[in-house]
Amino acid sequence: MPRVETTVLLACSGATSASLAPQVHDLAVLQPSDIFAVTLTIGGNDIGFGPVVADCFRPDRECVRDGTLADAFRKITASLPKWEGDYRAVVNADPGAELFVVGYPLLLPLQQSDGVECKWLTPKKRLYLYALNEELNSRIEQAVRNVVENAPDPDATPIDFVSVSSALRAHELCSKDSWVNDINYLGLLDNQEGHPNIHGQEAIAKVVASAIAGRSG
């Protein structure tokens, strides 16, 4: 009989590291021998990335000076052990599957001149938000490396980091042809605001699919 491939979605929007246990349980009760790949993106909600962007967006707040950004950077460092534990839990739930830990796309333009559509995005805000995005990805990748290096058999540990940093290049938030949902004037009232739209999701999926195909080949 021909092989039939399917995708099972266990993710939930707005979840933090503390919310992962039900998904790990659901993964464990599936048929492990039939699962080839598991993808996981986690960390943004742990550091409050959405509220940070909302704070920077609101004209009555100053995210650079009010400590919001600094607090998010501290949360990244504090979250590293949690993320390592999450990755180990997923691997243990199905040791036969390859875990692809997917980072986050860079949501803000690299250059201030590219952010022509957002008056709220001052040079300082863009610089700090961009740095926060990069630091989040860097520490997630570090957590993956730590899991591999501390495993009994690093070469046999089925976990990889997939960078999607450039998936939205030239289509970031505030660019002329943005693939990111606009932010409401009150700031992130809808959980889709500030997230990639269908075009952005497709761009990210293409990068992830390529990484998976590279491992399966």
More confident residue, 32 or 143: 143
| Torsion region of 35: left, alpha or beta (phi above 0 gives left; psi -120 to 50 gives alpha) | beta
Q: What is the DSSP string of 82-128?
A: HHHHHHHHHHHH-TTSEEEEE-----S-SSGGG-TT-TT--HHHHHH
HSE (side-chain half, CA atoms, 13 Å) at 46? 23
Name the most confidently modeled range: 28-32, 81-85, 110-114: 81-85
pLDDT(153) > 80: yes
Residue 132 is part of a domain; what is its CATH number? 3.40.50.1110
d(CA 16, CA 146): 20
Q: Would 46 be classed as within a structural domain?
A: yes
More confident residue, 138 or 216: 138
| Residue in this structure with the two tokens 């021909």, named with its chain if needed | 2
pLDDT(2) > 50: no
pLDDT given at position 185: 58
Q: Would 29 be classed as within a structural domain?
A: no
Q: Would 18 be classed as within a structural domain?
A: no
Tokens at 170, concatenated: 């030239």
| Torsion region of 99: left, alpha or beta (phi above 0 gives left; psi -120 to 50 gives alpha) | beta
pLDDT (average), residues 153-175: 93
More confident residue, 76 or 35: 76
Q: Which of the four pLDDT bands, split at 50, 70 and 90, describes residue 31?
A: low
**Considering only CA atoms, which of 192, 164, 34, 45 is closest in space to residue 105?**
164
- Alpha helices for the chain (secondary structure H): 21-29, 49-57, 68-93, 123-149, 198-216
pLDDT given at position 54: 84
pLDDT given at position 216: 65
Range(s) of the domain holding residue 82: 38-216
Q: Would 140 be classed as within a structural domain?
A: yes
Q: Which of the four pLDDT bands, split at 50, 70 and 90, describes residue 1?
A: very low
Q: Which of the four pLDDT bands, split at 50, 70 and 90, describes residue 4?
A: very low
Q: Are 76 and 139 in contact (CB under 8 A)?
A: yes
How many domains does the chain fold into?
A: 1
Instruction: Tell whether pTM > 0.75.
Output: yes
Q: Which of the four pLDDT bands, split at 50, 70 and 90, describes residue 186?
A: low
